[in-house]
Amino acid sequence: MLLIYSSKTSARLQYICKYIFSETFGVSYSITTNESGFESYEGPKISYSKLNFKDAYHIQPHTLLFETGIVPQKTESTYENESVTFFHTSGGDHSFDILAASFYLMSRYEEYLPYTSDMYGRYAHENSLAHKAGFLHVPLINLWLNRFQVSLASCFPVLKFRSQNFKFLPSYDIDIAWSYREKGIVRNAAGFLKSPSVVRFKTLFGGHKDPYDSYEYLHTLHIENSLSPHYFFLVAKQTGTYDKNILPRNKAMQELITEHANKYNLGLHPSWKSNDAFSILQNEKNKLEEISGRNISTSRQHYIKFHLPATYQNLIKCGITDDYSMGYGSINGFRASVATSYMWYDLAEEKSTILRIHPFCFMDANCLYEQKLTPAESYNELLHFYQICRKVNGTLITIFHNNFLGTDKKFSGWKELYEKFIRQLQQ
């Protein structure tokens, strides 16, 4: 067993130790404040204190894990061992406090501080340390922990670490199920007058498949490549500026949801308006459960719009146990600087919660609308995230939308891009 000494303990320290040593390393450990007992312990041990014990790995602590409340932190960063570090300390075996730095990034500490919102009222990625210090494109915590594990293994050969394997989870947000189908006479007539389209006419009256309908194609792709995707459905009861899906009372929409619930993991895509009232969120979850006949315990926010801690607190209250929103709706990258799932720590309540966070790092809409990338450039970016997640034995979670993978000319090249990437995974 690994013994960790600290002059005092805290909920923050207990949380990050559980993530690093138990969840990631698979090592049995215990935290003690007993100085003499720690000094006499003959097994592998870490001193997370100002005291440098003989035969102990020493990490000089930053103050963050022993604080309460939320105040601005000094995060001056430097580049060492091929990665960025901050919360530097001296006199230990580690040049920085890896526990406190990991906690700072995973808890999204900076998102509790005053910040400038983007045009959608979200936390703008430009505010983040990851963007400012240039490590948004890598899962920095995983890189740190891989090197930390090597150091501990060198000091304590008796320690046995869990093997981690790379995983790929394709996920899809269904927020506009069809381009023309099931939208009714009024919406289609208005759309036709605004932008006359032969495709719209053929879809509605000529028996052609809707250009956003990629469902059969994706099912075949999943079967052929042994993939287990996760689908998130928007079931807003009213349409609006940002909530444009087919209403859940529509029979075809219900059939689409039921069909996917019978084949795949199904989650809620909370509407834009659900951010304004918990009752809307609860009603949408109830509606998706009613239609699908499944218990719904997973979610991803529409437009990746969430605010900490309120959104996550509402998800827990609503019965959601796993959320897939941790990423940006403005740029691809690692918002929490990690490529593995973890339990959410509520800084406002100073406690670990039952909500597990599953970070994503790539979304098609970011490439096209925000980063203005071509399909070829987007493919190269996707390959980068695949390679770095594979390097750290993390989980690559991608977000695609059904409309990107259909036949609409606006998304020309995206279907081929995705299929090429899936084939690449099998090599």
Amino acid identity of 342?
Y
Q: Which residue has the higher pLDDT, 65 or 181?
A: 65
What pLDDT, on the 0 to 100 scale, is given for residue 208? 77
pLDDT-derived band at 387, boundaries 50, 70, 90: very high
What pLDDT, on the 0 to 100 scale, is given for residue 188? 46
Least confident of 27-41, 77-91, 244-258, 348-362: 77-91
What pLDDT, on the 0 to 100 scale, is given for residue 207? 57
Mean pLDDT value across the chain: 94
Distance of CA 359 to the CA centre of its chain: 2
Given a cut of 70, whether residue 149 has pLDDT beyond it is: yes
Tell me: the pLDDT tens digits for 238-273? Answer: 999 999 999 999 999 999 999 999 999 999 999 999
Given a cut of 80, whether residue 427 has pLDDT beyond it is: no
What pLDDT, on the 0 to 100 scale, is given for residue 182? 64
Given a cut of 80, whether residue 171 has pLDDT beyond it is: yes
Given a cut of 90, whether residue 183 has pLDDT beyond it is: no
Tell me: the pLDDT tens digits for 222-233? Answer: 999 999 999 999
pTM of the model: 0.94
Given a cut of 90, whether residue 360 has pLDDT beyond it is: yes
Share of residues in the chain with pLDDT > 90 (%): 91
186 vs 168: CA distance, rounded Å: 42
Q: What is the 3-class SS of the chain, one letter each residue?
A: CEEEECCCCCHHHHHHHHHHHHHHCCCCEEEECCHHHHHHCCCCEEECCCCCCCCCEECCCCCHHHCCCCCCCCCCCEEECCEEECCECCCCCCCECHHHHHHHHHCCHHHHCCCCECCCCCECHHHCHHHHHCCCCCCHHHHHHHHHHHHHHHHCCCCCCCCCCCEEEEEEEECCCCCCCCCHHHHHHHHHHHCCCHHHHHHHHCCCCCCCCCHHHHHHHHHHCCCCCEEEECCCCCCCCCCCCCCCCCHHHHHHHHHHHCCCEEEECCCCHHHCCHHHHHHHHHHHHHHHCCCCCEECCHHHCCCCCHHHHHHHHCCCCEECCCCCCCCCCCCCCCCCCEEEEECCCCEEEEEEECCCCEEHHHHHHHCCCCHHHHHHHHHHHHHHHHHCCCEEEEEEEHHHHCCCHHHCCHHHHHHHHHHHHCC
What pLDDT, on the 0 to 100 scale, is given for residue 80? 82
Given a cut of 90, whether residue 178 has pLDDT beyond it is: yes
